[in-house]
């Protein structure tokens, strides 16, 4: 199977650079997206295009999906001309979308009935790490299936098997909680610095090497100060992830009060017209409260 073509369904902000990295690693790739121009773009880079998810599955025994949310995964796999209509018995489907863990388990059961194996493998790192091929990949499923897919994962980032089907999604939700709250904390701190007359860039440089430093701070604080909210990961997608986290919390009886607060911040940002901006735009919420804008001063 490892020598055959790999299928990839979903060529959005994340899917396109992931496809490019698979091609760079020498894999033969067959791709499909509901946007024909996206397929054409990746075909130019060396992939073969398909006219449906079903066609991808007919030609590949290893199929990856990378689509926005639970309904899109169900449609891509079980919908009309979906993966399940063309997939061969014994094949492996790997969903790298970020969705509800319960839906991942449901998909796994549905594919198992067709004799098809399944991994859930959501990613973290946004567009920059998708481009660099350094995504964190959180996987749920059987060890043997993970071992089979790992050489492919290696072309896109670093993968860890977290448990059975659904465990990858739970891990991703935990990741998204930490990221959202980290961005909120960085935002609040930068606004305090600005309001206090201290250059936020100097504050950032002073604290980034200490305990407060983080990958999130290094990625998002400069964006806030540069007023660069071009989406690497959109507010709309983070709202979706936090909705899934809150749903998982309800299903397991896990109180998530900080997650709920982060969701309310994002809903306020959405109402102010920043739904498709990068999630670093959470800073707007705190700026609005303090009536000030975070930016570097002339001395930084």
Active-site annotation, residues: 172
- CA distances to 33, 52, 65, 67 from 81, in Å: 12, 6, 14, 16
Q: Helix H segments across 25-100?
A: 36-44, 53-59, 70-78, 83-86
Q: Report phi then psi at 5, rounded to 5.
A: -70, 150
Instruction: Collect all residues with Cβ–Cβ distance below 8 Å to 143 and sequence separation of at least 6.
Output: 161
**Interior CA angle at 104 toward 56 and 4, to 5°?**
30
Closest CA to 233 of 280, 188, 270: 280
């Amino acid at each position: 199977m490892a020598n055959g073509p790999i299928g990839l369904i979903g060529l959005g902000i994340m899917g396109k650079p992931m496809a490019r990295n698979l091609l760079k690693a020498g894999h033969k790739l067959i791709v499909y997206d509901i946007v024909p121009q996206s397929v054409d773009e990746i075909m130019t880079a060396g992939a073969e295009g398909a006219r449906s998810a079903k066609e991808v599955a007919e030609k590949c025994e290893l199929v990856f999906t990378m689509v926005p949310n639970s309904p899109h995964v169900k449609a891509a796999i079980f919908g009309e001309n979906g993966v399940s209509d063309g997939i061969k018995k014994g094949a492996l489907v790997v969903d790298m979308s970020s969705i509800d863990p319960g839906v991942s388990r449901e998909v796994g059961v549905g594919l198992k009935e067709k004799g098809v194996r399944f991994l859930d493998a959501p990613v973290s790192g946004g567009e920059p790490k998708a481009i660099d091929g350094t995504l964190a990949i959180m996987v749920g499923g059987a060890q043997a299936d993970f071992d089979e897919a790992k050489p492919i994962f290696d072309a896109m980032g670093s993968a860890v098997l977290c448990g059975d089907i659904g465990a990858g999604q739970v891990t991703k939700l935990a990741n998204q909680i930490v990221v959202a709250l980290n961005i909120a904390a960085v935002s609040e701190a930068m606004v305090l610095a600005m309001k206090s007359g201290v250059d936020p860039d100097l504050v950032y440089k002073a604290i980034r090497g200490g305990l407060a430093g983080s990958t999130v701070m290094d990625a998002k604080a400069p964006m806030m100060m540069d007023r660069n909210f071009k989406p690497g990961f959109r507010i709309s997608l983070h709202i979706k992830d936090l909705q899934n986290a809150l749903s998982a919390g309800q299903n397991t009886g896990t109180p998530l009060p900080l997650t709920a607060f982060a969701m309310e911040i994002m809903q306020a940002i959405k109402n102010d017209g920043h739904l498709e901006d990068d999630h670093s735009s959470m800073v707007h919420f705190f700026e609005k409260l303090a009536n000030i804008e975070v930016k570097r001063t002339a001395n930084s």
